[in-house]
Chains A and B, each alone.
Chain A
Amino acid sequence: GAVVSQHPSRVICKSGTSVKIECRSLDFQATTMFWYRQFPKQSLMLMATSNEGSKATYEQGVEKDKFLINHASLTLSTLTVTSAHPEDSSFYICSARKGLPTDTQYFGPGTRLTVL
């Protein structure tokens, strides 16, 4: 199997506060993890690629100082939304790359962030 957990599943916070989302690969090691944002009725939008032990690679238009990513171990990556604002409200999904032979991304269940 290839199980990825994400915590919390839902979070509500006040504007200006920071929120941390954890992504864990439970039964495999993942040197690469990905963070996505999904707007209602749309496809996934890649925010950044997280590599264990190195800095994340952010997609164009994603503020690295606002969306802090840490991939400190082979099973854990975190996304911190700093100074959150209502426009950051969204569904955030992480995925972890499982290597050969499948070399496939497996996804966490997502986190619904609501910023008041």
Chain B
Amino acid sequence: AQTVTQSQPEMSVQEAETVTLSCTYDTSESDYYLFWYKQPPSRQMILVIRQEAYKQQNATENRFSVNFQKAAKSFSLKISDSQLGDAAMYFCAYRIADSNYQLIWGAGTKLIIKP
């Protein structure tokens, strides 16, 4: 069975510093997608970054980047120059490439930004 594990229930970081959120997953598939979603207090789920498993290059979106280690089944999110607006729940999610498009979700990590 596919599972997604986020081992950090809560993380805190000083404003302007860098923080890394961990995510591991378990799958026997070779072709899949990985996602990080952000859910701020408004509860609107926002896509942060997306990674295709067949791509070796790590995805980046401005201050957000991932460290994708396929062999280790690890997909961590690095947030550089943390801002107060980054405070949110962050969810890691997985999907098989050729599937019914359902996402498998991690439990989430609450990120606190200290001013």
Contacts and interface: CB of A to CB of B under 8 A. Distances in A.
Interface of A: 32, 34, 38, 42-44, 46, 49, 57, 91, 93, 95, 97, 102-107, 109-110
Interface of B: 33, 35, 37, 42-47, 50, 91, 100-103, 105-108
B91 A93 contact: no
A82 to B, nearest CB: 24
A109 B100 contact: no
A105 B99 CA distance: 13
Given A43-B106, A91-B43, A110-B43, A105 B91 contact: no
A16 B72 CA distance: 50
Where chain A touches its partner, the secondary structure class is: strand
Given A104-B35, A104-B50, A107-B45, A97 B105 contact: no
Nearest to B110: A41
Contacts of B46: 107
Contacts, number: 48
A96 B60 CA distance: 23
B107 A43 contact: yes
Contact of A49 (B43, B47, B102): B102
A43 B91 contact: yes
B100 A57 contact: yes
Contact of A46 (B42, B102, B106, B108): B102
Interface centre among B45, B102, B106 (most CB of A within 10 A): B45
A43 to B, nearest CB: 5
A91 B43 CA distance: 9
A44 B43 contact: no
Contact of B44 (A43, A102, A104, A109): A109
